[in-house]
Amino acid sequence: MKIHARAARLVDTGQGLKFTESPRWRDGRWWFLDIHGGAVRSVDPQGSLRTELELPFKPNGLGFRRDGSLMLGDALGRQVYRWDGQALTKVADLSATTVFCLSDGLVDGHDRMYIGDIGYNFFDPANAPVHTCVITCIEPDGRARVVADGLSFPNGMALTPDGRTLIVAETMGHRLTAYDVRPDGGLAHRRVWAPLAADVSPDGIALDAEGGVWLANPEGRHAVLRVREGGEVTDAVELDTQAYAVMLGGPQRRQLLLCTSDSHDPALIAQSPSATLRVLEVAAPGLP
């Protein structure tokens, strides 16, 4: 296993970030959500930070449609919105099929959005996570349906280049789970893509061109890991903070962006935010 002991700071504390998640690479920039900052922001490989959209809610789940419009979730309201660069429009209401809060998500090549369900009130430490969470698929016209259930906090997601396999990080399940994607967007043939150690709770993930998955591992011994199908760990990243999401980008897509923070506790973040963005050069590039 290769140990990466240093990741360069691209954006440091003091630049207004609260808690970053869901990074996506598009048009020469990483786009990401600032959940507790209530905004969509972006940054280029030189560290130039930009606010793209201020939001009236805490967002989670982010993806681009083919026309360049953004899809994102109102995490606590459990609504999904589309932003076309001018107007923010509600697309779907998921409050009847999800519990408390939306988690990460993505948009596929057919403009369908898949988004997970945290399943418990993380503001209250006394609440134990549930293991009956779902993944919802939202069609481009707003029709929504549950396409997977019985998960343990489905979080980061990645699609294989052919669009036929969806890989999901089950944070409380300590595993990466895979599904076949049917032509109609449904999910089938659930299986464990990679079992993980008990101290690995995967959050945001990114798939590289060699089939490896980089995963953020908040509160774990190693902040970020790269795993192969079956569970082999090939790389580990050591940080002085915690990582919550990752995404490959840069000119050759060999730069791994790390969304980091000392804590995910909303009270601590409100009092003293510690969010940074780090970058690590890696061998295998990301996918188009």
- Which residues lie closer than 8 Å to 194 by C-beta, 6 or more apart? 175, 176, 213, 227, 228, 229, 230, 231
Q: Taking 80 as the threshold, does the pLDDT of residue 123 lie above it?
A: no
- pLDDT tens per residue, range 194-223: 999 999 999 999 999 999 999 999 989 999
Query: Which uninterrupted H or E stretch holds 46?
Result: none
Of 1, 4, 2, 10, the C-alpha closest to 275 is 10
Cβ distance 170 to 129 under 8 Å? no
Half-sphere exposure at residue 20, Cβ-oriented, CA atoms within 13 angstroms = 33
pLDDT for residue 24:
98
Average confidence (pLDDT) over 171-175: 96
Is the pTM above the cut of 0.95?
yes
Burial of 68-90, coded b for 16+ CB within 10 Å and e otherwise, reads ebbbbbbbbbbbbbbbeeeeeee
Domain boundaries, the chain: 2-281
- pLDDT tens per residue, range 48-69: 999 999 999 999 999 999 999 9
- Report the CATH number of the 2-281 domain: 2.120.10.30
